[in-house]
């Protein structure tokens, strides 16, 4: 996959570099078959559920996948069935994330941008600080844990509230661990990533 030599360098334009890398990786995701996506998502679910941090987590902040993202529906359900208190994001008009509890598939309703969001009472933007484990969407990570998201900055704002001892895990397809993710001062790195074949990679 893309390495630093493939990133735009003219003028040090961070937004252009991010956009170019994101476009390549999202195009590759669209080439995956339904079966490949399903198999990858099962492997990711099992890898995350096997983490010691998952076993000990009382509260897990996660997200409900859409489109070609690695599917998290089975993982979220499994965490909830295990007895974890699962928080899912509520996208706010300013791009920040509020949080509310997941109470099974029937507790979700259509939200903005094609998202499914919990219908329980919002807990506030600081609710993520109560999580023992945080599962994060990403398009790519590099070997330092720098994370490329979808470009809205919502999860970076949320992760900035998280303490240094909490494990943050990005879910990715194989091939989305790259040599370098273009990152700015407001981009928050993750502490681990899960891949279908590689399993869990920890950073730092």
- Token digits for 45? 């679910």
Predicted confidence at residue 186, as pLDDT, reads: 86
How confident is the prediction for the chain on average, in pLDDT? 92
Helices (H), 50-118: 52-56, 73-81
Closest CA to 89 of 50, 131, 34, 58: 131
Hey, what CATH class is 4-202 in? alpha beta
- Which of the pair, 204 or 147, is modelled with greater confidence? 147
Q: Looking at the predicted structure, is the pLDDT value of residue 181 above 80?
A: yes
Query: What's the pTM value of the predicted model, to 2 decimals?
Result: 0.90
Taking each helix axis as running N to C, give the angle between helix 73-81 and helix 34-49, from 0 to 180 degrees, rounded to the nearest 10: 30
Strand, coil or helix: 194: strand
Q: Domain coordinates of the chain in residue numbers?
A: 4-202
Helices (H), the chain: 14-31, 34-49, 52-56, 73-81, 154-159
């Amino acid at each position: 996959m893309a390495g630093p030599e493939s990133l735009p360098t003219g003028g040090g334009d961070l937004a252009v570099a991010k956009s170019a890398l994101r476009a390549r990786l999202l195009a590759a995701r669209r080439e995956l078959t339904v079966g490949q996506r399903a198999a990858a998502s099962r492997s990711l679910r099992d890898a995350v559920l096997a983490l010691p941090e998952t076993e000990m987590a009382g509260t897990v902040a996660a997200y409900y996948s859409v489109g070609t993202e690695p599917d998290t529906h089975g993982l979220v359900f499994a965490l909830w069935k295990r007895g974890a208190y699962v928080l899912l994001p509520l996208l706010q008009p300013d791009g920040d994330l509020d949080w509310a509890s997941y109470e099974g598939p029937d507790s979700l309703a259509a939200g903005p941008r094609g998202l499914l969001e919990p219908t329980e009472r919002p807990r506030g933007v600081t609710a993520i600080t109560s999580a023992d484990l945080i599962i994060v969407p990403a398009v790519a990570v590099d070997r330092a844990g720098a994370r490329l998201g979808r470009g809205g900055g919502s999860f970076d704002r949320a992760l900035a509230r998280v303490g240094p001892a909490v494990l943050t895990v990005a879910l990715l397809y194989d091939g989305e661990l790259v040599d370098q993710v273009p990152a700015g001062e407001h981009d928050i790195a993750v502490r681990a990533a899960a891949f279908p074949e590689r399993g869990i990679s920890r950073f730092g």
